[in-house]
Structure 1
Amino acid sequence: MNQHSPSAQSARNDADLARFGYKQELKRSMSTADLVVYGLIFMVPIAPWAIFGSVYNASMGMVPLVYTIGLIAMIFTALSYAQMAKAFPLAGGVFSYVGRGIHPNLGFFAGWLMLLDYLLVPTLLYVIAAESMVGIFPGTERWMWGIIFVAINVVVNLTGVTSLKWMNRIFLVMELAFIVAFVVIAIIGLNGGQLPQAEWSTKPIWNSEYVTPALLAAALSIAVLSFLGFDGISTMAEESTGDSKAPGKAMVISLLVVACLFIGQTWLASMLAGDFTPVPDDAVGNFFFEQIRAVAGTGIVNAFFVVNVLAVGIANSMAAQAATSRLLYSMARDRQLPKYLGHINSRKVPSSAILTVGVLSAILVLFFAGKIGTMSSMVNFGALTSFALLHLTVMWFYLRRKQSKKWISHALLPAVGFVIIVYVLINAGAEAQIAGLIWLVVGTAIFIFNKATGRSVEIDVTVDELPE
């Protein structure tokens, strides 16, 4: 048998799971390319459209600089994910990495904190998409659109990972097509004279007139949050057809690709806007689209509005819901959450977890409809705290437990990543910190209950058998 054949790789994947005490339950049909597509959809290649105006004001017109800083900051986290995904190719992401790399108890809290992000992100996306639909169809109810988006995503996720994979491909092609259309429109605008202020310039990348340490620090906080989502690839590890390195490779590739798309789009949009002038508060939300309208007209810009809604309300939310359900499944499998969340249906997806995420999202949509600002401040605390624990895990697991001598990969890079994440956490808004602490208190209560009822996880892994 060819050791590189699909059947041989499948046998090795099954053996990996057996070594960790699990059997293969999820369907392995995600190639490395599919994982990259999934990561791109999760991060949304057209994400800068909706927030361009606010980032433009905060960065004094240097939006592409913000995303460049974000790429540099988050690449450290992606590399730490790659190191742990290689050692533990499991569906739980940071729950599995921290739990097996340091201690199961700390793994529970890492998974619980990440749940705060994974549960609230779909809700935030539904609320944003519903707001846009009300703009397209005035007089309709926000909650109605939110519930419609929830229902669509639940159905697609329940039909299996193959359906998710194909929907991701379709939406990615659609988003890339509109990015190409925007590039053409921007070039016409820069050369055609429709916008007197528009000109080719490098100022959006670096304008010494406005660059200060304080601005760069503020940009770092904005930028790091813009790339959240690539980590969702780690939750699909047990559905990957590749080897244990595939999820890590996909995370790094998707992060690099989406960063290039972010930087390119915002550079063109910033040049269309001309020299920096603060955008009025009532125009911030549509600032990106107004550049398109000025060059291509209302009909074209409406098409961009619709694509933005579909990308956020369906594509991105669908990916987020898939990641959340896999994390719930993994924690339930290890007896840290109710057993029913670990149920796998005939299509080999965690159906109970998917339905639970859908119900929770619907309830949260009803509560948070029209409250985008409040939601935005709450969604990031959990992910950033989990990232910090991830960096510590790389250092503890490889340096202490495996006695690694790869000081750059296992000491320097995760240490830098840890410092960056902690800095962003310290400078997070008060609402985010309060919401995170409340969530942590709830998690502590669940942890104590699990201990009292004998639900502790016993992990028996021979460290010498794990890859370095």
Structure 2
Amino acid sequence: MSATSAGPAGATGSGPAEPSGDLSAYGYTQELKRGLSLRNLVVYGMVFMVPIAPFSIFGGVFDASRGMVPLTYLIGFVAMIFTAVSYQQMSRAFPVAGSVYAYAGRGIAPPVGFLAGWAILLDYLLVPTLLYVIGANAMASVVPVVPQQVWIVAFVLLNTVVNLRGVETTARANLVFLAAQLLVLAVFVVLAVVAIQRGVNGAEWTTLPFYNPAEFSTPLVFTALSVAVLSFLGFDAISTMSEETTGGNRVVGRATILALCVVAFLFVLQTYLASLLHPGMTAFPDADASNNAFYDIGRMIAGPWLQVVIALAVAIGAAVANSLVAQAATSRLLFSMSRDRQLPAFLRHIDPVRRVPQRAILLVAGISLVLGLFFVGQINLLASLCNFGALSAFLLLHVSVVSHYLLRRRQKTYGVHLVVPVLGFAIIGYVLWNADVHAKVGGLVWLAIGCGVLLLLRRMGRSVSFEATDSLG
């Protein structure tokens, strides 16, 4: 099950040599199966972010930004690219599973790593739940006679079976789901361009969705950004697969940047076209119109069939494709924290055949099922809580870059290791400051609980030391 022989972790007499990023330098052995290429990771990140994510929240972002949805996503991309670069730098330095938990723990201090892991755990534990609820809500618009709870149970069972079959099965499923989403998006883009050319609903080509001087204000855009940023969350999860990649410790960083850039372009393109189809509008008349905005646009440009296709794409993209990779990422974070004795030891169990964190996968499935059934229909609350957890962890990620490269290693690389993380920290901090008040209260309560757990672990003598901290970056 694990590589225990001398030399690079996982190397054997009959198999290929282990890629750079030998886990023995960090006090670990190679237990998870390495089978993911750069392409697999880019697909994984894109599926997690969901190329058609704006379909489900377009109306909300439109209202919050007074019609400047593509501008909001552009700013979101700028905000996230700084964070993606910080992930790239830390994944090169520490190519281990655990994402920001491992980076902050090794780059700053173990207790900070625990709090970073605890913060993003709020995001990772709730994201699958949120996606199941979104998918069930979308399916209810297509098949209203089936209760949403039934859809949630079906989605959880399907994703759990796929994840338990191994990382290669998950990668193949990701490729299929991504192709399906891109096909639906391509159909929408073509039909939307034709509709705009024909002047459907008074549409015409204009740059007002990018900048409307009559409505623009910095607080307005950043408030909208706190909603839109949810669509970008997921590129960070690529780093949770570090111990399952081939090709060296730089692959994770490249995949993170590539996935974010491609998805950002798709977000801006689809929201620009959708915004043009509502000329002169700065807000939808009511909540129902806002929630169903993209579905109604599909019906406007092609008829009821496209409305149904978009709804099905949202359901499958969120509750199957996105939830599949979310469950995988969350299980790897739980595995990493339990391996360092920060969570119960049973979560570090690796299936001897499939070489996946079996018990962590099953725990995530159980939590998602219970929470999904409890929070049916409460999409906005779940979304805001997910945002707080991820963005709080991103703040600590940026600090870890400065701490590791400039303070510990005393490098003079001030551009990528000072300017980038400082700008990323400032933007993420501003978004957090403008986040929903319920999200801030709930998130702070979660962090307070994390501090209590940390103190309890220290009293029990289970604080992690990260003694083997050699850096490859």
Moved more, 354-363 or 217-226: 217-226
Aligned to 2:91: 85
Aligned to 1:143: 149
Contact 1:69 / 1:223 at 8 angstroms: preserved in 2?
Answer: no
Aligned counterpart in structure 2 of residue 287 of structure 1, from 274, 293, 301: 293
TM-fit CA distance, 1:218: 2.2
Aligned counterpart in structure 2 of residue 388 of structure 1, from 374, 395, 407: 395
Taking the TM superposition and a 5 Å limit, the aligned residue runs for 1:159-308 are: 159-193=165-199, 195-281=200-286, 282-308=288-314
Moved more, 220-229 or 128-137: 220-229
TM-fit CA distance, 1:423: 1.3
Taking the TM superposition and a 5 Å limit, the aligned residue runs for 1:365-380 are: 365-380=372-387
Taking the TM superposition and a 5 Å limit, the aligned residue runs for 1:452-463 are: 452-461=459-468
Aligned to 2:441: 434
Aligned counterpart in structure 2 of residue 71 of structure 1, from 61, 77, 85: 77
TM-fit CA distance, 1:277: 4.3
Aligned counterpart in structure 2 of residue 355 of structure 1, from 351, 362, 376: 362
Aligned counterpart in structure 1 of residue 317 of structure 2, from 295, 306, 311: 311
Moved more, 328-337 or 271-280: 271-280
Contact 2:20 / 2:249 at 8 angstroms: preserved in 1?
Answer: no
Q: 1:386 to 1:10 in 2, by over 3 A?
A: farther
Distance in 2 between the 1:47 and 1:236 partners? 22
Distance in 1 between the 2:166 and 2:268 partners? 34
Aligned to 2:8: none
Contact 2:21 / 2:95 at 8 angstroms: preserved in 1?
Answer: no
After TM superposition, the score normalised by the length of structure 1 is 0.95
Distance in 1 between the 2:194 and 2:314 partners? 22
Aligned to 2:57: 51
Is residue 29 of structure 1 aligned with residue 19 of structure 2?
no
TM-fit CA distance, 1:427: 1.8
Contact 1:130 / 1:143 at 8 angstroms: preserved in 2?
Answer: yes
Aligned counterpart in structure 2 of residue 322 of structure 1, from 324, 328, 333: 328
Aligned to 2:6: none
Contact 2:92 / 2:249 at 8 angstroms: preserved in 1?
Answer: yes
The ranges of structure 1 where at least 4 consecutive aligned residues each deviate by more than 3 angstroms after the TM superposition are: 6-15
Aligned to 1:407: 414
Distance in 2 between the 1:370 and 1:211 partners? 32
Distance in 2 between the 1:168 and 1:462 partners? 33
Distance in 1 between the 2:443 and 2:326 partners? 19
TM-fit CA distance, 1:14: 7.0
TM-fit CA distance, 1:135: 1.8
Q: Which amino acid in the other structure matches residue 260 of structure 1?
A: F
2:277 match: secondary structure: helix
Contact 2:385 / 2:443 at 8 angstroms: preserved in 1?
Answer: yes
The RMSD of aligned alpha carbons is 1.8
Moved more, 346-355 or 367-376: 367-376
Distance in 2 between the 1:219 and 1:305 partners? 23
Distance in 1 between the 2:42 and 2:129 partners? 23
Aligned to 2:108: 102
TM-fit CA distance, 1:373: 2.4
Contact 1:14 / 1:23 at 8 angstroms: preserved in 2?
Answer: no
Distance in 2 between the 1:27 and 1:196 partners? 53
1:379 match: secondary structure: helix
Taking the TM superposition and a 5 Å limit, the aligned residue runs for 1:11-26 are: 11-13=17-19, 16-26=22-32
Q: Which amino acid in the other structure matches residue 343 of structure 1?
A: H
TM-fit CA distance, 1:70: 0.5
Deviations 1:210-248 (A, max 9, x none): 222232332332333331111000100001102111111
Moved more, 392-401 or 439-448: 439-448
Aligned to 2:343: 337
User: Identity over the aligned pairs, expressed in percent?
Assistant: 49
Distance in 2 between the 1:214 and 1:372 partners? 24
1:164 match: secondary structure: helix
Is residue 397 of structure 1 aligned with residue 404 of structure 2?
yes
Moved more, 267-276 or 75-84: 267-276
Contact 1:10 / 1:241 at 8 angstroms: preserved in 2?
Answer: no
After TM superposition, the score normalised by the length of structure 2 is 0.94
Gap runs ≥5 in structure 1: 1-5
Distance in 2 between the 1:376 and 1:141 partners? 22
1:276 match: secondary structure: coil
Matched residues, number: 460
TM-fit CA distance, 1:7: 9.8
Moved more, 353-362 or 223-232: 223-232
Q: Which amino acid in the other structure matches residue 159 of structure 1?
A: R
Distance in 2 between the 1:288 and 1:303 partners? 11
Contact 1:69 / 1:219 at 8 angstroms: preserved in 2?
Answer: no
Q: 1:221 to 1:370 in 2, by over 3 A?
A: closer
Distance in 1 between the 2:302 and 2:178 partners? 23
1:155 match: secondary structure: helix
